[in-house]
Structure 1
Amino acid sequence: MNFDALKPKVVEILIRFDISRDQKLQQLCQLLHDNVDYYNWVGFYFANHEAQTLHLGPYVGAETDHTVIPFGKGICGQVAVSNKNFVVPDVAAQDNYIACSFTVKSEIVVPLFVNGVNIGQIDIDSHVLDPFTKKDEKFLEFVNEEVAKLF
């Protein structure tokens, strides 16, 4: 996948004026899901700092029971606390992993910052072992920098 070719498409979706923020995020999830073979579940979680929980936002992929995740629990919850990208090549090797589906083999979570505050994250599950590279991280950081402009 050529991430550079996807960047203008990401921006094109996010600058639209005729749809809501959630619709933009939904279309963004669909774009990533449809254009990166190993992005099998793409979604956003948003932080409630008062309650110390993450709440599921727009996503594309299999339904999940994990609509609310406490800070610190699972990969997403750990990113809410660490404020750092978390790449998991093999979810079976993670002690603090919240199993979504037996088909999920790996995961990448990149925090979303607005004015220096971690307000959420993009979460991607893959049915492939160890597919994520530094290129994925850099691309998803770009995606989140663009998404941050919506807030």
Structure 2
Amino acid sequence: MLSKLKTDVTSILEDPALLTTERLQGVCELLRENISYYNWVGFYFRNADKEELKLGPYAGAPTDHTIIPFGKGICGQVALSNQNFVVPDVAAQDNYIACSIDVKAEIVVPIFVNGQNIGQIDIDSHQPDPFTKEDEEFLEFICAEVSRIL
């Protein structure tokens, strides 16, 4: 299934008729609709020269977390570490920003353009410990494809 989704992601990202934000929105919706445990899918990007992330396109419940300072929460930690962060149980994380009481797990993968961490894809799940190495590699693929259009 993920190989088919890779093809769909690439098709969306390469669609010249869509604006960049529309392409990213399409990816969010595709993932949320096709992977049962991807309950919230969104992109955060560095907010200009500020040490914070700003919410970009997303699919799922609305969130109050439209700005996240570097170092705060899982997303803010990835902004500093430049590393993937897989959280099987958000309740076990001290530095977690709760978006919803339903969220049980989270995975965040950074997006690099010219070696710079410019943002990330963030997935929340209502299932405990759903993310596999295959999910992580799939999201790395998506981030690499996204970096090509930014």
Q: Which category describes the TM-score, using the shorter chain as reference length? A: over 0.9
| Structure 2 portions without partners, runs of 5+ | none
Cα distance in 1 for partners of 2:71, 2:48 equals 12
Cα distance in 2 for partners of 1:94, 1:107 equals 11
Correspondence for 1:33 = 32
Amino acid at match of 1:138: E
| Structure 1 portions without partners, runs of 5+ | none
Give structure 1 regions of 4+ aligned residues with deviation exceeding 2 angstroms.
Answer: none
Q: CA deviation at 1:4?
A: 1.1
Correspondence for 2:7 = 8
Correspondence for 1:95 = 94
Residues 18-41 of structure 1 show CA distances to partners (whole Å, capped at 9, x for unaligned) of: 110000000000000001000000
Correspondence for 2:82 = 83
Q: CA deviation at 1:72?
A: 0.1
Residue 119 of structure 2 aligns to a residue whose secondary structure is: strand
TM-score for the superposition, normalised by structure 2: 0.98
TM-score for the superposition, normalised by structure 1: 0.98
Alignment of 1:1-151 (within 5 A): 2-48=1-47, 50-151=49-150
Aligned-residue RMSD, C-alpha: 0.7
Cα distance in 2 for partners of 1:9, 1:81 equals 31
Q: CA deviation at 1:111?
A: 0.2
Cα distance in 1 for partners of 2:19, 2:50 equals 26
Give the percent of matched residue pairs that are identical in Structure 1 and Structure 2. Answer: 65
Residue 121 of structure 2 aligns to a residue whose secondary structure is: strand
Cα distance in 2 for partners of 1:123, 1:117 equals 18
Cα distance in 2 for partners of 1:148, 1:99 equals 28
Residue 53 of structure 2 aligns to a residue whose secondary structure is: strand
Cα distance in 1 for partners of 2:143, 2:50 equals 23
Q: CA deviation at 1:48?
A: 2.6
Q: CA deviation at 1:82?
A: 0.1
Instruction: Name the count of aligned residue pairs.
Output: 150
Cα distance in 2 for partners of 1:49, 1:78 equals 18
Q: CA deviation at 1:50?
A: 2.2
Residues 71-100 of structure 1 show CA distances to partners (whole Å, capped at 9, x for unaligned) of: 000000000000000000000000000000
Amino acid at match of 2:119: G
Amino acid at match of 2:41: V
Q: CA deviation at 1:5?
A: 1.5
